[in-house]
Amino acid sequence: MTLAMKLAARVEDVKKTYDLGPALVEPLGGAKQELNFAPMGADEGRILVKALRGVTLDFPEGDFVAIMGASGSGKSTLLNLLGGLDRPTSGRYILDGVDVSQMDDADLSHMRNQKLGFIFQSYNLITQYTVLENIELPLHYRPGYPPIGPAERQWCLELATKVGLGERLDHRPFQLSGGQQQRVAIARALVNNPEIILADEPTGNLDSGTSNEIMEMLTSLNKEGRTIIMVTHEPDIANWARRQIVMRDGVVFKEALTADILRAAAAAPAGEPVAAH
Amino acid sequence: MSFTRLIRIIQLGLKSLLLHKLRSGLTMLGIVFGVFSVIAMLAIGEGASAQAQKQIVALGATNIIVRSLKPVEGSSSDQNAGGSPRYGLTRTDFKRLTNTISTITNAIPVRELPREARYLKNTMNCRLVGCTPEYLEVNHIKVTKGRFLSDADQDTRANVVVVAHEVAKDLFPIEEPLGKAIQIDSIYYTVIGVTSERTASAGIGGSLAAQDFNKDLYIPMNTFRARIGDEIFIPKQRGMDSEYLELSQITLTVRDVSDVLRTADVVRGTIEKFHTQKDFAVVVPLELLKQADQLRQIFNIVLGSIAAISLVVGGIGIMNIMLATVTERTREIGIRRALGAKQRDIIEQFLTETVVLSGSGGFLGMGLGLLTPLSFKVIRWFTLNFILDSRPGALSETSRMFSEMEPSVALWSLPLAFGISVGIGVIFGLYPARAAARLDPIEALRHE
């Protein structure tokens, strides 16, 4: 698979620190306070969690990347930054040639609406809306708020048909199976024709058969030329991607092409874990 | 914001509200009743003041009324030793006023006494009024049958009487009153006319009781003086009490409304000079009108504020529900934010929902408010026929006011109440909407 050299997105030395408030210097009862997270550093008596500690990554146009890592490794934080739901503490995030790392809320919202499509583990459909209304939703927030006309309706119908839900337009999410709900989410992610699709554990709630269907759908979208960035912790799912990135302790731990990983796995003795994971 | 977008977010608001019909309906009720009570209170205030105004206008805006007042007992009085105590206006006062004040165009001396009138077996407690023919015009009395007193009656001291509507009805239930003789004390008077029914006017001379013209008997002033005289004897527990009073009232009419207040001052000064005690009162209906107008405004403000409190309570109810809604819909807010909704979009969405809620509540309240006169009549009918009816004597002055009042919906109160309800939607919706918009999209998406 050949990739266009143009970059869809690039993060440069991105750091993200969460401030959890003042540290407890004198724990109650004199006992040492047991914290359920690891304070990565204390600054002037405050607990700071360094979720990302300098990440630089390129996402060429048309790439299909799986981001992996244990919980707390920073992969979700990275996806939130890529999705424009959060801003990095420092570093740059260039999306489609524009530095969006310090954009204000309105511009970030605009960017999410126009350039990104989201697919979530728990589908995140609006329960009281029908399939068609859910697919339409991003159209309501287009810049300038153009009215939704017959052309837009037709486009939503096409998308619904494309994901195989042409017959269920008036159903509500609770009348659909998990796989069907995820397809609605995929159609919704495509409605504004974004360049990048961000998927957060898209198959986390699905059985393996349905997972494969969803992954086939994502793969075909990737073949259409869309960049897909997916967070997962399942190696099987990650293997659908062209490239895999493993995060650990807020930095990129390992980066490899799926083809190379599979080759290494085939060479390694059976039973031993594949090095990348 | 374009019109189509406005329509779209209103549709969105309606849709969200219709998802929880009961909840939205109950929340709306607060505003419905708030708006309704504002309109109803103002309508009742308007009705009460209109009635008061009608009574005052009946007194005549160009009139000045001078009334005799019985001085407080024990205070110094120019009574003749052994004779009846004298007080009040005199015929000399009357002449002095008419001769010296040029702005007065008309002056009527009036003498009143409570007396029992009798015809055959029918009796009635009436107000015997000695007056001149001008009394008719000045007090806006209309004669339905026969004629009013004439100058000739005055000159001949004729024993004639004009009876008021209610007297005619009670004394002559089936007969024709004209030409019949009725007995007052021991003297018979021939009925020459009947006046039409007339609403009571405002009380004057410091008395709160309304002047009721429906129980009047009008006889010529000169006849009054000749047959009854100035000295009145009132039976008491032991012996008789007596008093000496020449005139009960002088009704003055001035040429123009602008002369009223100045003339009233002169009248007051003229009479004061010759009275050692405070035994008269000058009543200016115009002043009463102005006072009533001020009173009406205060009344309206007080009633409106009381009703406005219920609107505020309704607004708090809305805010409460909207805050709960925001918490309940955190996930939805997160989804919308992820799909590109700006903070402003979320504020607009929730604010629209609140305004649609309070606005439609206001609209329904307006509809209910328009029914105020009707519902007031129903309540009044019920009260008069089932509650007050069973207790004789319960129909006091206040309840008579209640029974005669017509609430009228002030047209300006409709847009006012509706505007306030929308305003309350904005004010009480702003905080929940901002709370919704400020949610962190990441947290919101994770919310269960």
Please give the Cα distance from B258 to B269 (Å, whole number): 19
The angle subtended at Cα A84 by Cα A158 and Cα A104, nearest 5°, is 120
CB burial of B99-137 (b: ≥16 within 10 Å; e: otherwise) equals: eebebbebbbbbbbbebebebeeeebebbbbbbbbbbbe
The angle subtended at Cα A255 by Cα A252 and Cα A261, nearest 5°, is 145
Nearest to A112 among B1, B2, B338 (CB): B338
Report phi then psi at B13, rounded to 5: -60, -45
User: Smallest Cα–Cα separation from B432: which of B369, B362, B358?
Assistant: B358
> Does an H or E element contain A135, and which?
helix A131-136
- Kindly state the tokens that stand for B219: 């006889």
Per-residue pLDDT, averaged over B321-329, amounts to: 91
Q: Which of A79, A109, A119 to mutate to test the interface with B (most CBs of B within 10 A)?
A: A109
Strands B187-195 and B181-184 turn out to be: antiparallel
Q: Are A62 and A224 within 8 A, CB to CB?
A: no
Whether residues B338 and A118 touch (CB distance < 8 A) is answered with yes
The total of other beta-carbon atoms located within 10 Å of residue A4's CB is 11
Quote the pLDDT of residue A161: 93
- For A163, B233, B370, B397, the CA distances from B49, given in Å and listed in that order, are 71, 40, 19, 16
Which residues from A are below 8 Å from B12, CB to CB? 140
pLDDT at B322 over 70: yes
pLDDT at B210 over 80: no
Whether residues A113 and B445 touch (CB distance < 8 A) is answered with no
pLDDT band at B163 (very low <50, low <70, confident <90, very high): very high
Per-residue pLDDT, averaged over B313-337, amounts to: 92
Quote the pLDDT of residue B385: 76
Quote the pLDDT of residue B407: 84
User: Smallest Cα–Cα separation from A109: which of B63, B341, B151, B37?
Assistant: B341
Per-residue pLDDT, averaged over B14-27, amounts to: 89
pLDDT band at B32 (very low <50, low <70, confident <90, very high): very high
The dihedral region occupied by B393, where left means phi > 0, alpha psi between -120 and 50, and beta the remainder, is left
Nearest to B5 among A83, A120, A145 (CB): A145
Q: What ipTM describes this predicted complex?
A: 0.89
Mean pLDDT by 10 residues, chain A (277 residues): 69 87 57 48 67 91 93 89 91 90 90 94 92 93 89 93 90 93 95 93 92 94 94 92 93 92 82 52
Nearest to B332 among A105, A126, A148 (CB): A126
Quote the pLDDT of residue A23: 65
**DSSP states along B102-141:** TTEEEEEEEEEEEEEEEETTEEEEEEEEEE-TTHHHHTT-
User: Smallest Cα–Cα separation from B52: which of B284, B210, B283?
Assistant: B210
Quote the pLDDT of residue B396: 54
The dihedral region occupied by B88, where left means phi > 0, alpha psi between -120 and 50, and beta the remainder, is left
Please give the Cα distance from A203 to A179 (Å, whole number): 9
- For B111, B130, B245, the CA distances from B85, given in Å and listed in that order, are 17, 21, 9
CA-nearest residue to A145 within chain B is B5
Quote the pLDDT of residue B388: 63
* Interface list for B 384-403 with A (CB within 8 A): none
Please give the Cα distance from A232 to B86 (Å, whole number): 111
Quote the pLDDT of residue A172: 93
Please give the Cα distance from A69 to A249 (Å, whole number): 9
CA-nearest residue to A140 within chain B is B341
The total of other beta-carbon atoms located within 10 Å of residue A82's CB is 23
Q: Which of A75, A77, A140 to mutate to test the interface with B (most CBs of B within 10 A)?
A: A140
pLDDT at B398 over 60: no
Please give the Cα distance from B347 to B9 (Å, whole number): 11
For B408-431, how does the pLDDT look when each residue is reduced to its tens digit (9 = 90+)? Answer: 888 888 888 888 889 999 999 999
Which residues from B are below 8 Å from A113, CB to CB? 339-341
Strand order from edge to edge, sheet including A46-60: A41-43, A46-60, A7-22, A90-95, A98-99
For B35-94, how does the pLDDT look when each residue is reduced to its tens digit (9 = 90+)? Answer: 898 888 888 888 877 877 777 777 677 888 888 888 766 544 444 545 677 888 888 889
B296/B322: higher pLDDT: B322
Give the position of tokens 């009742």.
B44
Which residues from A are below 8 Å from B343, CB to CB? 105-106, 109
Tell me the shortest Cα–Cα distance from A124 to chain B, in angstroms: 6
Whether residues B340 and A147 touch (CB distance < 8 A) is answered with no
Quote the pLDDT of residue B17: 87
CA-nearest residue to A198 within chain B is B338
Per-residue pLDDT, averaged over B124-146, amounts to: 87
A–B CB contacts, 8 A cutoff, strictly below? 68
| Helix, strand, or coil (residue B338) | helix
Per-residue pLDDT, averaged over B278-290, amounts to: 82
User: Smallest Cα–Cα separation from A214: which of A195, A194, A233, A200?
Assistant: A200
User: Smallest Cα–Cα separation from B165: which of B130, B114, B121, B124?
Assistant: B124
**Looking at the DSSP assignment, which residues form a beta bridge with residue A245?**
A67, A255
Whether residues A113 and B8 touch (CB distance < 8 A) is answered with no
CA-nearest residue to A104 within chain B is B342
Mean pLDDT over the full length of chain B? 84
The angle subtended at Cα B170 by Cα B169 and Cα B172, nearest 5°, is 70
